[in-house]
Amino acid sequence: MSPVAVTGLGVVSPHGDDALAMFAALMRAESAVKAVFPELPKPAAAALAPFDESRWFTKLQLAGVDRVSQLAVAAADLAMRDAGSPTDIAPERLGVFVGCGMGGAAALEAAYRGGARVPPLTIPAFMPNAPASHVAMRQRAEGPVLTYSMACASSAVAIAEAAKAVRAGEVDLAIAGGSEALIVPGVVLAWQAMQTLAGFAPDAAANAVRPFASDRSGFALGEGAAFVVLESDDHARRRGARRYASLVGWGLSCDATHLTKPHAPGQARALRAALRMAGLQPRDVGYCNAHGTATRIGDVVERDALASVWGDDLGRLHVSSTKALHGHLLGAAGALEAVITVLALHQRQLPPNAHCATIDPACQLNLVQGAMTAAPDLGAAISNSFAFGGTNSVLLFQRA
C-alpha cells in the first residue's frame, strides 16, 4: 500500500505565516505568549496570530466571514502553494478535512456582548464547519469537505481521517488541518473559570506555560490555523512533488471514563495503534511532540501513557511540548503540532521543551533541553493530541 506523503505545509501561527520561520523561532525558544485584555478582572495571557486579512480577502469577500475562517483560508492556501499549487486535480477528487473546536467566537461575542443589534450573518460566521466550507470555495474542492470537532484533538483527527481517505483512494489530494480563533474576552473568561490557564506574575506572561516543570500551572490559549497537503506517495512522485515526510500511522481512541480528566490507558491505546499501523517499535521513534498542556494532572498522565508503551526505551524518546511557546490552539493544536513534528523530521532538529527549569519528578521524560536539539538520525516522530471529551489522537510520521 502506498504511504501517505506530506507534500505541503501552511500555517498562520502565533509565530507568523512562514512555516520554516516559525520552526526557527521555536528552535530559538521564542515565546509568542503575551498578556491580553487588561480590562479583565484576572490577568490573562494568550498567543495571537499576526494576520493581515487583506492579503486573502477583499472587503466584500469578508462579509460574514469570521476570523476563524479567514485564518483557515489563508493557511490552506499557503499549504497548497507550498505543495506546488497542483492544478491537475479533478475538483471532485480534492477533499478538505478541518478540525475546529469552537467556530466563530468573535461573531458570537459580537452578537452577545456587542450591545447593538445582532448582525444578520452571525450564524454562517459562527458555524464550526464554516472554515472548511470557505477553504473548499477558495480551493474549489468538490469532494468530501468535512469538519471534526473533538476539542483539542480536532485537527489531529482531521489529518488522520484525511490520510484514511487518501489511502482508500477516495481523494487524490487532501487539504487537512485545523483553525481556531477564540481569543475574545468571553471565551477567555470561560477558560479562566475552568481553572486550566497558567497563572503568571506581571511582565512574565511569556514564560507562563511550563510543560512538565515542577512549577507548571496550566496553559495559555493560542490562535491560528495550520494545514498539510496529503496525497499518496505514488501520486506525489508522479507529479514530482517535494515530500516532507510520510504519515505512516495514526491511532484514535477514547478514554470513555471522564469528560475532562485524562486517562493514561486510553492514551496508550492510541499510541499503540499508531505504532501497530506503522509497523514500528517504540524504539524506532526518536521524537514526541507532546500534548503537554502544562496542567498539573495532564502532564503526569501523558508521561505515564508514554512510559507504559515505551517501557525500558522511554529514555530514547526525546519529548517536548511546544505549547510553552505558541500556546494551546485547541482545535488547531493537532495540526500546528503536526506541522512542527514534520519539520523536526525534515530539518532533523528537535524544538526545545521551554521554560522547564526543574522537571517534575512525576514527569520524568527525556525532555529536549539545552544543546540537545540536533537529531541527525531521527527517522520517525509522533505528535500527541488528547482532548476534553476523552478522544486521543496520535499521528506518526516517518522521514520520506
Partner 1 sequence: MSSLKELQDLIHEKFGIAPSELDPTASMREKGMDSLALVEFVFAVEDRFGISISDEQSNVDTLAELAAHVDKVRAAQAT
| Least separation in angstroms between CB 136 and partner 1 | 16
CA angle 309, 399, 242 (to 5 degrees): 145
Give the nearer residue to partner 1 in terms of CB position, either 57 or 310: 57
Give the nearer residue to partner 1 in terms of CB position, either 126 or 388: 126
CA angle 98, 162, 129 (to 5 degrees): 20
| Least separation in angstroms between CB 63 and partner 1 | 4
| Least separation in angstroms between CB 120 and partner 1 | 5
| Least separation in angstroms between CB 53 and partner 1 | 12
**CB neighbour burial string for 125-141, b if at least 16 within 10 angstroms, e if fewer:** bbbbbbbbbbbbebbeb
Rounded-to-integer distance, Cα 210 and Cα 197, Å = 11
| Least separation in angstroms between CB 116 and partner 1 | 7
- Determine the angle formed by the axes of helices 185-193 and 105-113, rounding to 10 degrees: 100
Rounded-to-integer distance, Cα 282 and Cα 367, Å = 16
Radius of gyration of the chain (CA): 19
291 is catalytic: yes
Selected catalytic residue, list 15, 134, 235, 291? 291
Give the nearer residue to partner 1 in terms of CB position, either 138 or 303: 138
Strand order in the sheet with 173-180: 145-148, 94-99, 173-180, 224-232, 4-12, 245-254, 391-399, 380-386, 287-289, 318-320, 366-367
- Under a CB-based contact definition with an 8 Å cutoff, are residues 72 and 300 in contact? no
Nearest CA to 387 out of 105, 120, 149 is that of 149
SS3 353: coil
| Least separation in angstroms between CB 115 and partner 1 | 13
Give the nearer residue to partner 1 in terms of CB position, either 87 or 117: 117
Selected catalytic residue, list 15, 100, 134, 152? 152
Give the nearer residue to partner 1 in terms of CB position, either 55 or 59: 59
Binding site for partner 1 (CB under 8 A): 58-60, 63-64, 116-117, 119-121, 124
Torsion of CA 4, 353, 226, 190, to 10 degrees: 130
Give the nearer residue to partner 1 in terms of CB position, either 65 or 271: 65
Residues forming the active site = 152, 291, 328
